[in-house]
């Protein structure tokens, strides 16, 4: 594809959240902007076959079970034009694991090295953070898990370390909340004031299943809300997944290079010249001609 026909490109951003470009068709389960269509990705992609030059999704695949994730990649294959590009961005299990092992070694040796109290405390804090980065979104049962409060309270070098890891997430976590009116199917809320129906349901569940039944239901609703990670990927597992879905020319990318000429101009994987999700692996593959 050449730059000359860029204005005729058909581009699909799947699970875009609040970060998108108007030149693309943008879809997500909840829409916070008129330029974003609300759609449950588990129902397939709302597009005809062989339609798009590129399908892009960032930090979406890990929120699906492996089976649902493969169905999404199969749908991406279906809607791509022959020769079209699929770009996948997910948290990089390899990078996160290496970061955890490095932080573990630093924490383990901190008692044997001549460090100041501040240096030792920072090493231990980085170790605790890397444990959270590896595990928290897989096991949390409430929104934000342990990562949310940690980012909100982080200061100084720890805050800088987390921002370096995640890309301005500390700034976002500590910023005042922004009001927004979502459209489409809302995410499951567990902290809203219960309705009369919910109060009666709670009483019935307690009567039938015991005092913990309502808590089980709330946890189940949260786990189905889409916030938790259902799987994690590295370069090998992504290559094998895309191969099973008949995609070819698998390539590990940076945040700015792409099979698609001019991809960087859309600023989907960078903000202000910095990588938007530094903890990610960026990969591309193509539908055969």
Is 182 a domain residue?
Answer: no
Q: How far apart are CA 259 and CA 215, in angstroms?
A: 48
Q: How far apart are CA 90 and CA 263, in angstroms?
A: 18
Are 207 and 261 members of one domain? no
| SS3 category, 219 | helix
Total number of residues shown for the chain: 289
Is 46 a domain residue?
Answer: yes
Is 210 a domain residue?
Answer: yes
For the chain, the domain total comes to 3
- Predicted confidence at residue 197, as pLDDT, reads 79
Count other C-beta atoms under 10 Å from residue 54's C-beta.
25
Is 181 a domain residue?
Answer: no
Is 49 a domain residue?
Answer: yes
User: Where a domain ends, among 225, 245, 268?
Assistant: 225
Is 179 a domain residue?
Answer: no
- Predicted confidence at residue 262, as pLDDT, reads 96
Are 15 and 69 members of one domain? yes
- Predicted confidence at residue 190, as pLDDT, reads 40
Nearest-CA neighbor of 282 among 231, 243, 234? 234
Nearest-5° Cα angle at 173, 184 to 176: 80
- Predicted confidence at residue 224, as pLDDT, reads 86
Are 168 and 100 members of one domain? yes
- Predicted confidence at residue 5, as pLDDT, reads 66
Asked whether the CA dihedral 270, 274, 275, 276 is positive or negative, the reply is negative
Q: Label residue 232 left, alpha or beta by phi (over 0 means left) and psi (-120 to 50 means alpha).
A: beta
Low-confidence ranges of the chain (pLDDT < 50): 1-4, 186-191
Contact 121, 106 (CB under 8 A): no
Global pTM reads 0.87
Alpha helices per DSSP H over the chain:
66-79, 93-109, 117-139, 147-153, 156-166, 169-174, 196-209, 213-223, 235-244
Is 60 a domain residue?
Answer: yes
Domain enclosing residue 220, as ranges: 190-225
């Amino acid at each position: 594809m050449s730059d000359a026909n860029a204005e005729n490109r058909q581009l699909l951003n799947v699970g875009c959240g609040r970060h998108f470009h108007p030149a693309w068709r943008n879809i997500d389960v909840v829409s916070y902007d008129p330029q974003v269509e609300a759609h449950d990705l588990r129902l397939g992609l709302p597009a005809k076959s062989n339609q798009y030059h590129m399908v892009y999704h960032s930090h979406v695949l890990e929120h699906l079970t492996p089976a649902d994730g493969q169905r999404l990649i199969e749908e991406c294959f279906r809607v791509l034009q022959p020769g079209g590009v699929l770009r996948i961005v997910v948290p990089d299990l390899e990078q996160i694991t290496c970061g955890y092992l490095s932080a573990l070694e630093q924490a383990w040796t901190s008692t044997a090295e001549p460090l100041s109290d501040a240096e030792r405390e920072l090493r231990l804090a980085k170790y605790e953070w890397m444990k959270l980065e590896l595990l928290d979104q897989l096991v949390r049962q409430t929104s934000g898990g342990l990562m949310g409060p940690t980012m909100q309270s982080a200061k100084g070098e720890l805050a800088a370390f987390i921002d370096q890891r995640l890309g301005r997430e500390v700034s976002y976590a500590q910023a005042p909340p922004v009001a927004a009116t979502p459209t489409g199917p809302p995410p499951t809320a567990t902290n809203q004031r219960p309705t009369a129906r919910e109060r009666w349901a709670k009483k019935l569940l307690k009567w039938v299943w015991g005092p913990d039944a309502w808590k089980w239901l709330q946890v189940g609703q949260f786990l189905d809300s889409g916030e938790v990670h259902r799987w994690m990927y590295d370069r090998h597992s992504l290559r094998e997944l895309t191969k099973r879905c008949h995609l070819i020319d698998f390539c590990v990318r940076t945040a700015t290079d792409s099979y698609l000429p001019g991809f960087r101009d859309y600023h989907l994987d960078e903000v202000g010249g910095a990588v938007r999700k530094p903890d990610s692996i960026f990969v591309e593959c193509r539908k055969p001609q």
